[in-house]
Amino acid sequence: MVKQILTHKIVLLLLLSLLLMIPVHSIMELNRERQAYRSQAINSIMASSSGPQRLLGPVLVQPYTRAVTVEQDGKRFVREERVYRYLLPEQLDVRSSMEVTPRKLGIYQAQVYQTRLSLSGRLPSNLNDKLLVADNPDLRFDGADPALVPGKPYLSLVLSDARGINSVPELRLGEARIPFAPGALLGDGMAGIHAPLDALPGEDGRFHIELNLQGMNALEVVPLGQDSKLHLSGNWPHPNFIGDFLPGNRTLGEQGFEASWQTSWFATDMETRFTRLMKGVGAKLPSFSVSLVQPVDHYQLNERAAKYALLFIGLTFLSFFMFELLKGLRVHPIQYALVGMGLAIFYLVLLALTEHLGFGWAYLVASLASVSLNGFYLSHVLGGPRQGLGFAALLGLVYSILFGLLQAEEIALLLGTLLLFAILALVMMLTRKLDWYRVMATSSSPRES
């Protein structure tokens, strides 16, 4: 009979541990819902200002027209087709200085930046037939076709969000100063600006553009030049260098960052990729990229903390059970459940406070509240304040270890494995001389708590 009671209690505690994961799962779903609210807030900020910026250009465009005879339904008629010749820079040097200002909507924020982009370099003087692209991809032609009638060339700059242009930029091409006009005129769906030219540039072909741009969260620059460089600095201390190329040099500090990129057509194969893009058969072009991320994703840390809930509850129940066996106390399953709920609600308190205090302070306050609540309750359940304070100290130690696991992303698995191994070793050491048959035979009338 006693053996059955002990066995039933073990099964009941296992079942109770699993049932307590239901509210923990609900808290994790609430965490994901709050993440969705943050994304909506960022989209609202983006809708009223400008989003992440991607700069492609400058590209020198020479348009042509050609009369094409088409036969349809037995009738022949002449149709005008448009053909474009694209000239990419021989050299492209981009310099940018970012001033980042966090912008809030309620309790959520996004990183809005103002940047002054300085683009300089040299445009090619030779016309490359490989970069001839027609509106109709079925047409066949070559650069020497006398039927091609040239139009007025222009220099195009493509931006992912043209609303971020704060002032009308100006193109300096040789001695000429040419203001930009709206519209990139570079394929369908590409926003931006263009500078109309009277003729293609000569042998010199040097250009300079100053562009004041506003964006949010990220900046990308496509290295179109045969030799492309980007030097970027900003006052945000937590940049994330993403994209297809890492910076060759970078400096990070509390006051901001500096980074430099350099690449060439040997690494990018830009001519081929750009031509395929203009024909509508290519993928996204490679870029130099920086993302202005938050140093800590509070919601991700909350979710990672909640994943340890079963371990927390299991360790607490194991401690109670060992205390029952070794001290002859009697803890009711309802008392186990109340302590388990006290542990589960910790994650809800943590999530609620994180949005206002940050994760570190929220974790401290939530863990102190949980330790105090369970310590007070256990001092009565376990027969005195000494036992209650002991378990409160043990619970505080476990919370401290969990906080360390959350901060150590790269070695979290190793630390977690060592923790479980240490707990198993401790249980085996404490029960190494315990006669389980005798315990089950002599525990028919344990004293009440």
Query: What mean pLDDT do residues 316-345 have?
Result: 75
Query: What mean pLDDT do residues 10-14 have?
Result: 76
Could you say which of 276, 295, 314 is where a domain stops?
A: 295
| pLDDT at residue number 238 | 82
Query: What mean pLDDT do residues 414-434 have?
Result: 74
Evaluate whether residue 448 is within a structural domain.
no
Query: What mean pLDDT do residues 94-111 have?
Result: 80
Query: What mean pLDDT do residues 9-20 have?
Result: 78
| pLDDT at residue number 328 | 61
**Confidence tier at 7 by pLDDT (50, 70, 90):** low
| pLDDT at residue number 231 | 93
| 380 and 427, same domain (yes or no) | yes
Task: Output 392 or 410, whichever has higher pLDDT.
Answer: 392
| pLDDT at residue number 260 | 92
| 82 and 64, same domain (yes or no) | yes
* Separation CA 137–CA 32 (nearest Å): 46
How many folded domains does the chain comprise? 2
Q: Which of 147-151, 216-220, 379-383 has the lowest mean pLDDT?
A: 379-383
Task: Output 47 or 61, whichever has higher pLDDT.
Answer: 61
| 8 and 64, same domain (yes or no) | no
Evaluate whether residue 43 is within a structural domain.
no
| 255 and 399, same domain (yes or no) | no
Residue 330's domain comprises 2-38+299-442
Pairing of strands 206-216, 192-196: unpaired
Q: Work out the widest C-alpha separation in the chain, in whole angstroms.
A: 108
Could you say which of 295, 311, 328 is where a domain stops?
A: 295
| 318 and 262, same domain (yes or no) | no
| pLDDT at residue number 291 | 87
Average pLDDT, the chain: 79
CA angle 26, 31, 34 (to 5 degrees): 125
**Confidence tier at 95 by pLDDT (50, 70, 90):** very high
Query: What mean pLDDT do residues 164-169 have?
Result: 83
Evaluate whether residue 447 is within a structural domain.
no
Evaluate whether residue 45 is within a structural domain.
no
* Separation CA 372–CA 401 (nearest Å): 18
The listed range with the strongest mean pLDDT (9-23, 117-131, 208-222, 281-295) is 208-222
| pLDDT at residue number 232 | 92
Give the CATH number for residue 61. Answer: 2.60.40
- CB of 83 within 8 A of CB of 66? yes
The secondary structure of 400-419 as a DSSP string is HHHHHHHH-STTHHHHHHHH
| 13 and 106, same domain (yes or no) | no
The listed range with the strongest mean pLDDT (33-42, 76-85, 236-245) is 236-245
| 195 and 126, same domain (yes or no) | yes
Q: Is 187 in a helix, a strand, or coil?
A: coil
| 288 and 307, same domain (yes or no) | no
Angle between the N-to-C axes of helices 412-430 and 385-407, in degrees from 0 to 180, rounded to the nearest 10? 150
Could you say which of 295, 324, 346 is where a domain stops?
A: 295
Residues 6 or more apart whose CB falls under 8 angstroms from that of 127 comprise 62, 85, 87, 143, 200
Evaluate whether residue 280 is within a structural domain.
yes
Query: What mean pLDDT do residues 170-185 have?
Result: 87
| pLDDT at residue number 319 | 73
Residue 268, both tokens: 């990018």
Q: Which residues of 156-188 are buried (b: 16+ CB within 10 A; e: fewer)?
A: bbbbbbbebbeeebebebeeeebebeeebbbee
| 194 and 224, same domain (yes or no) | yes
Evaluate whether residue 48 is within a structural domain.
no
**Confidence tier at 448 by pLDDT (50, 70, 90):** very low
| pLDDT at residue number 136 | 53
Residue 105 pLDDT greater than 90, yes or no? no
| 82 and 225, same domain (yes or no) | yes
N- to C-terminal Cα distance for the chain? 21
Evaluate whether residue 46 is within a structural domain.
no
pLDDT-above-70 percentage for the chain: 83
Task: Output 422 or 413, whichever has higher pLDDT.
Answer: 422
Task: Output 115 or 68, whichever has higher pLDDT.
Answer: 115
Residue with tokens 């570190």: 360
| pLDDT at residue number 208 | 92
Evaluate whether residue 239 is within a structural domain.
yes
Nearest to 366 by CA among 390, 389, 342: 342
- CB of 127 within 8 A of CB of 143? yes
Q: Which of 36-45, 123-132, 192-201, 362-371 has the lowest mean pLDDT?
A: 123-132
pLDDT tens-digit map of 61-76 = 888 887 777 777 767 7
- CB of 288 within 8 A of CB of 243? yes
Task: Output 320 or 344, whichever has higher pLDDT.
Answer: 344
| pLDDT at residue number 120 | 92
Q: Which residues pair with 352 in a beta bridge?
A: none
pLDDT tens-digit map of 360-387 = 888 889 888 888 888 888 777 767 777 7
| pLDDT at residue number 19 | 83
- CB of 166 within 8 A of CB of 215? no
| 90 and 129, same domain (yes or no) | yes
| 290 and 314, same domain (yes or no) | no
Phi, psi of 409, deg, nearest 5? -65, -45
Residue 93 pLDDT greater than 90, yes or no? yes
Residue 1 pLDDT greater than 50, yes or no? no
Tell me, what DSSP letter sits at residue 138? Answer: T
